[in-house]
A and B are shown apart, each in its own frame.
Chain A
Amino acid sequence: MSPLAQLLEAALFAASRPLAVEELMTLDPQAGEVAVRAGLDELRAAYATAGHGVELVEIALGWQFLTRPEHAAAIEGAQFALRPRRLSPAALETLAIIAYRQPVGRVEVDEIRGVDAGAVIDKLIERGLVEVVSRGEGLGRPLLYATTPQFLEILGLKDLDELPRLEELSVALRPPAAPA
Protein backbone atom coordinates (compact mmCIF):
# COMPACT_ATOMS: atom_id res chain seq x y z
CA MET A 1 0.00 0.00 0.00
CA SER A 2 1.08 3.56 -0.62
CA PRO A 3 2.35 5.60 2.35
CA LEU A 4 -0.80 7.78 2.21
CA ALA A 5 -3.06 4.71 2.36
CA GLN A 6 -1.10 3.49 5.37
CA LEU A 7 -1.48 6.86 7.06
CA LEU A 8 -5.21 6.82 6.39
CA GLU A 9 -5.40 3.29 7.77
CA ALA A 10 -3.69 4.37 10.97
CA ALA A 11 -5.95 7.39 11.42
CA LEU A 12 -9.13 5.43 10.78
CA PHE A 13 -7.98 2.75 13.17
CA ALA A 14 -7.24 5.29 15.87
CA ALA A 15 -10.54 7.17 15.55
CA SER A 16 -13.72 5.74 17.01
CA ARG A 17 -16.02 7.65 14.68
CA PRO A 18 -16.42 8.11 10.96
CA LEU A 19 -13.85 10.56 9.58
CA ALA A 20 -14.79 12.86 6.72
CA VAL A 21 -12.53 13.32 3.74
CA GLU A 22 -12.00 16.95 4.76
CA GLU A 23 -10.80 15.78 8.17
CA LEU A 24 -8.51 13.15 6.68
CA MET A 25 -6.96 15.79 4.43
CA THR A 26 -5.51 17.48 7.54
CA LEU A 27 -3.30 14.41 8.13
CA ASP A 28 -0.98 15.42 5.36
CA PRO A 29 -0.99 19.01 4.13
CA GLN A 30 0.63 17.88 0.88
CA ALA A 31 -2.18 15.50 -0.02
CA GLY A 32 -5.19 17.03 -1.70
CA GLU A 33 -8.73 15.72 -1.79
CA VAL A 34 -8.12 13.68 -4.93
CA ALA A 35 -5.14 11.93 -3.39
CA VAL A 36 -7.02 11.20 -0.14
CA ARG A 37 -9.98 9.75 -2.04
CA ALA A 38 -7.63 7.63 -4.10
CA GLY A 39 -5.91 6.50 -0.89
CA LEU A 40 -9.26 5.55 0.64
CA ASP A 41 -10.17 3.54 -2.44
CA GLU A 42 -6.81 1.81 -2.33
CA LEU A 43 -7.28 1.03 1.37
CA ARG A 44 -10.81 -0.28 0.86
CA ALA A 45 -9.69 -2.47 -1.99
CA ALA A 46 -6.77 -3.80 0.05
CA TYR A 47 -9.10 -4.89 2.85
CA ALA A 48 -11.70 -6.27 0.45
CA THR A 49 -9.31 -8.41 -1.55
CA ALA A 50 -7.01 -9.72 1.15
CA GLY A 51 -9.75 -11.31 3.23
CA HIS A 52 -10.17 -9.38 6.44
CA GLY A 53 -12.61 -9.40 9.35
CA VAL A 54 -13.10 -5.67 9.02
CA GLU A 55 -13.84 -3.53 6.02
CA LEU A 56 -13.66 0.13 5.19
CA VAL A 57 -17.14 1.59 4.85
CA GLU A 58 -18.39 4.97 3.72
CA ILE A 59 -20.87 6.00 6.39
CA ALA A 60 -22.37 9.11 7.99
CA LEU A 61 -20.60 11.56 5.68
CA GLY A 62 -17.27 9.91 6.42
CA TRP A 63 -15.23 6.74 6.44
CA GLN A 64 -14.95 4.10 9.13
CA PHE A 65 -13.70 0.57 9.67
CA LEU A 66 -16.57 -1.80 10.53
CA THR A 67 -16.51 -5.47 11.34
CA ARG A 68 -17.99 -7.77 8.76
CA PRO A 69 -21.59 -8.84 9.49
CA GLU A 70 -20.77 -12.55 9.66
CA HIS A 71 -18.78 -12.01 12.86
CA ALA A 72 -21.50 -10.10 14.73
CA ALA A 73 -23.03 -13.08 16.52
CA ALA A 74 -19.70 -14.39 17.82
CA ILE A 75 -18.54 -10.94 18.94
CA GLU A 76 -21.79 -10.30 20.75
CA GLY A 77 -21.79 -13.80 22.21
CA ALA A 78 -18.40 -13.14 23.74
CA GLN A 79 -19.73 -9.76 24.92
CA PHE A 80 -16.95 -7.75 23.30
CA ALA A 81 -19.64 -5.50 21.86
CA LEU A 82 -23.42 -5.40 21.90
CA ARG A 83 -25.86 -4.73 19.13
CA PRO A 84 -27.58 -1.38 19.71
CA ARG A 85 -31.05 -1.31 21.15
CA ARG A 86 -33.70 -1.42 18.47
CA LEU A 87 -35.79 1.67 17.88
CA SER A 88 -39.50 1.45 18.60
CA PRO A 89 -41.98 1.77 15.72
CA ALA A 90 -43.01 5.16 17.11
CA ALA A 91 -39.38 6.33 17.06
CA LEU A 92 -38.85 5.05 13.51
CA GLU A 93 -42.04 6.71 12.26
CA THR A 94 -40.95 9.99 13.77
CA LEU A 95 -37.43 9.61 12.33
CA ALA A 96 -38.82 8.82 8.89
CA ILE A 97 -40.99 11.93 8.89
CA ILE A 98 -38.19 14.18 10.16
CA ALA A 99 -35.70 12.69 7.69
CA TYR A 100 -37.92 13.45 4.71
CA ARG A 101 -39.44 16.74 5.80
CA GLN A 102 -36.50 18.36 7.53
CA PRO A 103 -36.42 20.97 8.81
CA VAL A 104 -39.82 20.19 10.23
CA GLY A 105 -41.88 21.32 13.21
CA ARG A 106 -43.50 19.08 15.76
CA VAL A 107 -47.04 19.89 14.67
CA GLU A 108 -46.39 18.50 11.22
CA VAL A 109 -44.95 15.30 12.68
CA ASP A 110 -47.97 14.96 14.99
CA GLU A 111 -50.30 15.48 12.07
CA ILE A 112 -48.77 12.84 9.86
CA ARG A 113 -48.51 10.28 12.65
CA GLY A 114 -51.93 11.09 14.06
CA VAL A 115 -50.56 11.13 17.60
CA ASP A 116 -48.62 13.45 19.88
CA ALA A 117 -44.94 12.99 18.99
CA GLY A 118 -43.41 15.36 21.54
CA ALA A 119 -42.03 12.76 23.93
CA VAL A 120 -40.69 10.63 21.08
CA ILE A 121 -38.86 13.61 19.60
CA ASP A 122 -37.33 14.40 22.98
CA LYS A 123 -36.11 10.81 23.22
CA LEU A 124 -34.58 11.00 19.74
CA ILE A 125 -32.80 14.23 20.67
CA GLU A 126 -31.48 12.52 23.79
CA ARG A 127 -30.09 9.70 21.63
CA GLY A 128 -28.48 12.26 19.35
CA LEU A 129 -30.46 11.20 16.27
CA VAL A 130 -32.39 14.44 15.90
CA GLU A 131 -31.52 18.04 16.68
CA VAL A 132 -33.13 21.44 16.68
CA VAL A 133 -31.81 23.36 13.69
CA SER A 134 -33.87 26.53 13.60
CA ARG A 135 -37.18 28.15 14.33
CA GLY A 136 -39.99 28.25 11.83
CA GLU A 137 -42.21 31.13 10.83
CA GLY A 138 -45.68 31.47 12.20
CA LEU A 139 -47.33 31.26 15.55
CA GLY A 140 -44.87 30.84 18.39
CA ARG A 141 -41.94 30.42 16.00
CA PRO A 142 -41.94 26.62 16.42
CA LEU A 143 -38.68 24.69 16.77
CA LEU A 144 -37.65 22.92 13.61
CA TYR A 145 -35.99 19.52 13.78
CA ALA A 146 -33.55 17.72 11.50
CA THR A 147 -31.62 14.45 11.58
CA THR A 148 -27.98 14.28 12.71
CA PRO A 149 -24.95 12.41 11.32
CA GLN A 150 -25.57 9.97 14.17
CA PHE A 151 -28.87 9.11 12.45
CA LEU A 152 -26.96 8.23 9.28
CA GLU A 153 -24.50 6.21 11.33
CA ILE A 154 -27.05 3.97 13.05
CA LEU A 155 -28.62 3.26 9.68
CA GLY A 156 -25.29 2.72 7.93
CA LEU A 157 -26.03 5.44 5.38
CA LYS A 158 -23.48 7.55 3.57
CA ASP A 159 -25.82 10.53 3.38
CA LEU A 160 -29.52 11.37 3.20
CA ASP A 161 -29.55 10.73 -0.55
CA GLU A 162 -29.30 7.04 0.21
CA LEU A 163 -32.80 7.06 1.69
CA PRO A 164 -35.34 5.61 -0.73
CA ARG A 165 -36.99 8.15 -2.97
CA LEU A 166 -40.69 8.65 -2.27
CA GLU A 167 -41.49 7.83 -5.89
CA GLU A 168 -40.03 4.37 -5.33
CA LEU A 169 -42.54 3.55 -2.63
CA SER A 170 -45.75 1.74 -3.39
CA VAL A 171 -48.15 4.31 -2.13
CA ALA A 172 -51.52 2.61 -2.32
CA LEU A 173 -52.37 -0.50 -0.33
CA ARG A 174 -53.16 -2.16 -3.60
CA PRO A 175 -53.32 -0.68 -7.05
CA PRO A 176 -56.37 1.57 -7.36
CA ALA A 177 -59.20 -0.18 -9.18
CA ALA A 178 -59.24 0.56 -12.85
CA PRO A 179 -61.94 3.10 -13.68
CA ALA A 180 -65.08 1.30 -14.72
Chain B
Amino acid sequence: MTTLPPPPSAVDQAGFVVELEQFSGPLDLLLHLIREDELDITDLPIAKIADQFLGVIGDLGLSQAADYLEMAARLLRIKAQTLLPRRPGDDEWEDPRAELVRRLLEYQQVRELVDWLADAAASRAERFARGFMPEARPVPPAPLVIELNELLAAAERVIALIPEPVLHRVVPRPLDVEGATERIQALLGEREECSWLDVVGEGASVVDVLSVFIALLELAKRGALKLRQDGPFAPIVIRREPPRAAA
Protein backbone atom coordinates (compact mmCIF):
# COMPACT_ATOMS: atom_id res chain seq x y z
CA MET B 1 0.00 0.00 0.00
CA THR B 2 1.18 3.48 -0.67
CA THR B 3 1.73 5.82 2.22
CA LEU B 4 -1.24 8.02 1.47
CA PRO B 5 -2.51 9.75 4.55
CA PRO B 6 -6.03 8.64 5.36
CA PRO B 7 -8.54 11.17 4.16
CA PRO B 8 -9.65 13.43 7.03
CA SER B 9 -13.27 12.99 6.14
CA ALA B 10 -15.36 12.12 3.18
CA VAL B 11 -15.96 15.74 2.34
CA ASP B 12 -15.33 15.32 -1.32
CA GLN B 13 -18.37 14.06 -3.09
CA ALA B 14 -16.45 13.21 -6.21
CA GLY B 15 -14.37 10.16 -5.63
CA PHE B 16 -16.25 9.45 -2.46
CA VAL B 17 -16.07 5.69 -2.88
CA VAL B 18 -12.55 6.03 -4.08
CA GLU B 19 -11.30 8.00 -1.11
CA LEU B 20 -12.58 5.34 1.22
CA GLU B 21 -10.54 2.80 -0.65
CA GLN B 22 -7.45 4.98 -0.38
CA PHE B 23 -7.18 5.48 -4.10
CA SER B 24 -7.99 8.85 -5.52
CA GLY B 25 -8.95 7.42 -8.89
CA PRO B 26 -8.34 4.72 -11.46
CA LEU B 27 -4.98 6.21 -12.43
CA ASP B 28 -3.88 6.09 -8.81
CA LEU B 29 -4.91 2.45 -8.60
CA LEU B 30 -3.07 1.65 -11.83
CA LEU B 31 0.09 3.38 -10.62
CA HIS B 32 -0.16 1.45 -7.38
CA LEU B 33 -0.37 -1.87 -9.24
CA ILE B 34 2.53 -0.92 -11.47
CA ARG B 35 4.65 0.10 -8.50
CA GLU B 36 3.79 -3.02 -6.55
CA ASP B 37 4.94 -5.30 -9.35
CA GLU B 38 7.86 -3.03 -10.23
CA LEU B 39 6.71 -2.91 -13.81
CA ASP B 40 8.23 -0.67 -16.42
CA ILE B 41 5.65 2.00 -17.08
CA THR B 42 6.95 2.73 -20.56
CA ASP B 43 6.69 -0.94 -21.57
CA LEU B 44 3.52 -1.87 -19.78
CA PRO B 45 2.50 -5.54 -19.84
CA ILE B 46 -1.04 -4.55 -20.66
CA ALA B 47 -2.68 -7.99 -20.45
CA LYS B 48 -1.32 -8.54 -16.96
CA ILE B 49 -2.18 -5.08 -15.69
CA ALA B 50 -5.69 -5.22 -17.18
CA ASP B 51 -6.42 -8.51 -15.41
CA GLN B 52 -5.08 -7.17 -12.13
CA PHE B 53 -7.08 -3.99 -12.44
CA LEU B 54 -10.30 -5.90 -13.05
CA GLY B 55 -9.50 -8.18 -10.12
CA VAL B 56 -8.94 -5.29 -7.75
CA ILE B 57 -12.01 -3.30 -8.66
CA GLY B 58 -14.01 -6.50 -8.21
CA ASP B 59 -12.48 -7.16 -4.79
CA LEU B 60 -12.80 -3.61 -3.56
CA GLY B 61 -16.38 -3.33 -4.71
CA LEU B 62 -15.50 -0.35 -6.83
CA SER B 63 -17.59 -1.61 -9.70
CA GLN B 64 -20.09 1.16 -9.02
CA ALA B 65 -17.59 3.87 -9.81
CA ALA B 66 -17.96 4.89 -13.44
CA ASP B 67 -14.41 6.21 -13.59
CA TYR B 68 -13.05 2.79 -12.76
CA LEU B 69 -15.33 1.06 -15.23
CA GLU B 70 -14.22 3.43 -17.93
CA MET B 71 -10.58 2.66 -17.20
CA ALA B 72 -11.34 -1.08 -17.18
CA ALA B 73 -12.94 -0.76 -20.61
CA ARG B 74 -9.97 1.24 -21.86
CA LEU B 75 -7.51 -1.38 -20.63
CA LEU B 76 -9.44 -4.19 -22.28
CA ARG B 77 -9.53 -2.29 -25.55
CA ILE B 78 -5.79 -1.70 -25.46
CA LYS B 79 -5.26 -5.34 -24.60
CA ALA B 80 -7.33 -6.37 -27.62
CA GLN B 81 -5.45 -3.96 -29.87
CA THR B 82 -2.07 -5.31 -28.82
CA LEU B 83 -3.27 -8.81 -29.69
CA LEU B 84 -4.09 -7.84 -33.26
CA PRO B 85 -1.50 -9.08 -35.75
CA ARG B 86 0.39 -6.36 -37.55
CA ARG B 87 2.43 -6.41 -40.67
CA PRO B 88 6.17 -6.24 -40.14
CA GLY B 89 7.62 -2.88 -41.02
CA ASP B 90 4.29 -1.11 -40.74
CA ASP B 91 5.27 2.49 -40.06
CA GLU B 92 1.69 3.56 -39.47
CA TRP B 93 1.38 1.34 -36.45
CA GLU B 94 1.17 3.20 -33.19
CA ASP B 95 1.56 1.55 -29.85
CA PRO B 96 -2.00 1.38 -28.45
CA ARG B 97 -0.52 1.84 -24.98
CA ALA B 98 1.05 5.19 -25.81
CA GLU B 99 -1.88 7.35 -24.71
CA LEU B 100 -2.30 5.44 -21.44
CA VAL B 101 1.42 5.65 -20.71
CA ARG B 102 1.37 9.37 -21.36
CA ARG B 103 -1.53 9.81 -18.96
CA LEU B 104 0.11 7.63 -16.33
CA LEU B 105 3.33 9.61 -16.50
CA GLU B 106 1.41 12.85 -16.27
CA TYR B 107 -0.56 11.57 -13.33
CA GLN B 108 2.59 10.34 -11.67
CA GLN B 109 3.96 13.82 -11.94
CA VAL B 110 0.85 15.09 -10.21
CA ARG B 111 1.31 12.56 -7.41
CA GLU B 112 4.85 13.75 -6.92
CA LEU B 113 3.63 17.31 -6.71
CA VAL B 114 0.98 16.21 -4.22
CA ASP B 115 3.70 14.84 -1.95
CA TRP B 116 5.57 18.11 -2.26
CA LEU B 117 2.47 20.19 -1.54
CA ALA B 118 1.54 17.99 1.42
CA ASP B 119 5.04 18.47 2.89
CA ALA B 120 4.88 22.22 2.35
CA ALA B 121 1.44 22.42 3.95
CA ALA B 122 2.62 20.29 6.87
CA SER B 123 5.58 22.58 7.64
CA ARG B 124 3.42 25.66 7.23
CA ALA B 125 0.96 24.13 9.71
CA GLU B 126 3.73 24.20 12.32
CA ARG B 127 3.75 27.98 12.28
CA PHE B 128 0.96 30.15 13.51
CA ALA B 129 0.26 33.64 12.34
CA ARG B 130 -1.31 36.42 14.34
CA GLY B 131 -5.04 36.02 14.55
CA PHE B 132 -4.76 32.51 13.21
CA MET B 133 -8.12 30.86 12.78
CA PRO B 134 -8.48 27.17 12.09
CA GLU B 135 -11.25 27.81 9.59
CA ALA B 136 -11.76 31.06 7.75
CA ARG B 137 -14.71 32.55 9.57
CA PRO B 138 -16.71 35.39 8.11
CA VAL B 139 -15.80 38.68 9.72
CA PRO B 140 -18.70 39.91 11.86
CA PRO B 141 -20.22 43.04 10.34
CA ALA B 142 -19.28 46.36 11.92
CA PRO B 143 -21.87 47.90 14.25
CA LEU B 144 -24.56 49.53 12.16
CA VAL B 145 -24.69 53.33 12.32
CA ILE B 146 -27.64 54.71 10.44
CA GLU B 147 -30.04 57.65 10.54
CA LEU B 148 -33.75 57.05 10.70
CA ASN B 149 -34.31 58.81 7.38
CA GLU B 150 -31.68 56.70 5.66
CA LEU B 151 -33.29 53.59 7.08
CA LEU B 152 -36.72 54.63 5.84
CA ALA B 153 -35.33 55.52 2.42
CA ALA B 154 -33.61 52.15 2.26
CA ALA B 155 -36.78 50.41 3.29
CA GLU B 156 -38.67 52.22 0.53
CA ARG B 157 -36.10 51.20 -2.02
CA VAL B 158 -36.39 47.60 -0.90
CA ILE B 159 -40.18 47.71 -0.94
CA ALA B 160 -40.08 49.21 -4.45
CA LEU B 161 -38.08 46.20 -5.55
CA ILE B 162 -40.66 43.74 -4.32
CA PRO B 163 -42.37 42.47 -7.42
CA GLU B 164 -46.12 42.39 -7.61
CA PRO B 165 -47.04 38.96 -6.39
CA VAL B 166 -48.18 36.90 -9.28
CA LEU B 167 -51.47 35.48 -8.13
CA HIS B 168 -53.93 33.46 -10.04
CA ARG B 169 -57.08 35.50 -10.12
CA VAL B 170 -60.15 33.43 -9.62
CA VAL B 171 -62.86 35.35 -11.50
CA PRO B 172 -66.31 34.03 -10.76
CA ARG B 173 -68.06 33.71 -14.03
CA PRO B 174 -71.19 35.74 -13.51
CA LEU B 175 -74.46 34.11 -14.20
CA ASP B 176 -75.98 35.62 -17.30
CA VAL B 177 -79.56 35.76 -16.02
CA GLU B 178 -80.38 38.74 -18.22
CA GLY B 179 -79.24 37.00 -21.35
CA ALA B 180 -81.21 33.92 -20.44
CA THR B 181 -84.30 36.01 -19.75
CA GLU B 182 -84.02 37.65 -23.16
CA ARG B 183 -83.57 34.29 -24.83
CA ILE B 184 -86.66 32.86 -23.13
CA GLN B 185 -88.76 35.90 -23.98
CA ALA B 186 -87.63 35.79 -27.59
CA LEU B 187 -88.57 32.12 -27.81
CA LEU B 188 -91.95 32.71 -26.19
CA GLY B 189 -92.48 35.61 -28.56
CA GLU B 190 -92.42 33.12 -31.41
CA ARG B 191 -94.43 30.33 -29.87
CA GLU B 192 -96.64 29.82 -26.89
CA GLU B 193 -94.85 26.85 -25.52
CA CYS B 194 -91.32 25.60 -25.53
CA SER B 195 -89.24 23.01 -23.73
CA TRP B 196 -86.31 23.30 -21.41
CA LEU B 197 -83.94 22.01 -24.06
CA ASP B 198 -85.12 24.67 -26.51
CA VAL B 199 -83.87 27.30 -24.10
CA VAL B 200 -80.59 25.86 -22.84
CA GLY B 201 -79.62 23.95 -25.96
CA GLU B 202 -77.30 20.91 -26.12
CA GLY B 203 -74.09 20.80 -24.16
CA ALA B 204 -74.83 23.78 -21.96
CA SER B 205 -72.40 24.59 -19.18
CA VAL B 206 -73.34 24.55 -15.54
CA VAL B 207 -73.37 28.34 -15.55
CA ASP B 208 -75.76 28.41 -18.53
CA VAL B 209 -78.10 25.92 -16.89
CA LEU B 210 -78.12 27.93 -13.68
CA SER B 211 -78.69 31.19 -15.55
CA VAL B 212 -81.64 29.78 -17.47
CA PHE B 213 -83.09 28.17 -14.38
CA ILE B 214 -82.95 31.39 -12.37
CA ALA B 215 -84.37 33.35 -15.31
CA LEU B 216 -87.26 30.89 -15.59
CA LEU B 217 -88.03 31.10 -11.89
CA GLU B 218 -87.88 34.86 -12.03
CA LEU B 219 -90.18 35.07 -15.07
CA ALA B 220 -92.58 32.58 -13.48
CA LYS B 221 -92.65 34.68 -10.34
CA ARG B 222 -93.46 37.76 -12.41
CA GLY B 223 -96.23 35.78 -14.04
CA ALA B 224 -94.71 36.03 -17.50
CA LEU B 225 -94.81 32.27 -17.94
CA LYS B 226 -95.84 29.02 -16.37
CA LEU B 227 -93.67 26.03 -15.73
CA ARG B 228 -94.95 22.54 -15.83
CA GLN B 229 -93.33 19.22 -15.20
CA ASP B 230 -95.50 16.15 -15.44
CA GLY B 231 -93.35 14.03 -13.18
CA PRO B 232 -89.89 13.72 -11.69
CA PHE B 233 -87.27 14.00 -14.46
CA ALA B 234 -89.93 14.59 -17.05
CA PRO B 235 -89.30 17.34 -19.60
CA ILE B 236 -90.03 20.82 -18.32
CA VAL B 237 -92.61 22.64 -20.38
CA ILE B 238 -92.49 26.44 -20.49
CA ARG B 239 -95.70 28.15 -21.42
CA ARG B 240 -96.28 31.80 -22.07
CA GLU B 241 -98.62 33.54 -19.62
CA PRO B 242 -101.04 35.12 -20.14
CA PRO B 243 -101.69 33.40 -23.45
CA ARG B 244 -101.98 35.82 -26.31
CA ALA B 245 -102.60 35.31 -29.95
CA ALA B 246 -99.62 34.53 -32.08
CA ALA B 247 -98.58 37.39 -34.25
Taking Cβ atoms with an 8 Å cutoff, the residues of A that contact B are 13, 15-17, 57, 64-69, 72, 75, 81-93, 95-97, 99-100, 111-120, 123, 127-128, 150, 153-157, 163-164, 166, 169-174, 176-177
Contacts and interface: CB of A to CB of B under 8 A. Distances in A.
A81 B34 contact: no
A66 B128 contact: yes
A12 to B, nearest CB: 8
Interface stretch (B35-43, B192-200, B232-240): B35-43
Interface of B: 4-5, 7-8, 11-15, 18-19, 24-28, 31, 34-35, 38-43, 67, 71, 103, 105-114, 116-118, 120-132, 134-136
Contacts, number: 171
A128 B136 contact: yes
A172 B102 CA distance: 10
B132 A86 contact: no
Contacts of B111: 93
Contact of A114 (B19, B27, B39): B27
A169 B134 CA distance: 32
A115 B114 contact: no
7 contacts: A69-B123, A87-B117, A112-B106, A113-B24, A156-B123, A172-B42, A172-B105
B12 A88 contact: yes
A16 B15 CA distance: 35
